[in-house]
Amino acid sequence: MAGFLYIATTICIGLLIGTELAVSVFINPVLQKLDDRAHAKAISLFATRLGHAMPFWYGFSLVLLITETIAKRHESGSTLLIAASAIWLAVILLSVLVLVPINNRMMQLDAKSFPEEAQREHRRWTNLHHLRVAALVVAMICFLLAAHQ
C-alpha cells in the first residue's frame, strides 16, 4: 500500500506542477503575443477550464500528501513530508484568497476588449502564479527527499 500511495502522490502532484509550469512558461508568454481581443478571449477560456479542474486537483493532492505524511509519521523523512504538506496548504490558501478571485474576474473578460485594469490584474496574477509554481516545486522536492531519508 505504501508503494502505491507514493506512486499515486508522485504522479498526482507531479502532473499538477507540470500543468502549472506549462501555464507559466509556455501558455502565458504565447498569449501575451496575441492582440488584445484574442488575448482576452484566450485568458477567459483558460481561466474557465482550469478554474473548474484545479480546485479538485489541488485538494486531492493535499489529501494524498497528508495521507503519506500520516503513513510515514514515524520515519526519518516525516519532517520533510510535514513541510511538503504545509507548503501545499499555504499554496492552496494563496490560491483561494488571492489568485482565484483574480481568475474569476478573468473568466468574465469580454472578447471585445482587454481593458488596462484587466491587463494589470492579469500581470499581478502571473507574478503570483510564478511564486505559486516555485512553492509547489519546493513542496515536491521535500516530498521526494522524504522518500530517500
Dist CA 65 CA 92 (whole Å): 13
Residue ranges covered by each domain of the chain: 2-146
* pLDDT tens, the chain, 149 aa long: 679 999 999 999 999 999 999 999 999 999 999 998 898 899 999 999 999 999 999 999 999 999 999 999 999 999 999 999 999 999 999 999 999 999 999 988 877 778 888 889 999 999 999 999 999 999 999 999 999 98
Burial (CB < 10 A; 0-12, 13-18, 19+), residue 76, is: exposed
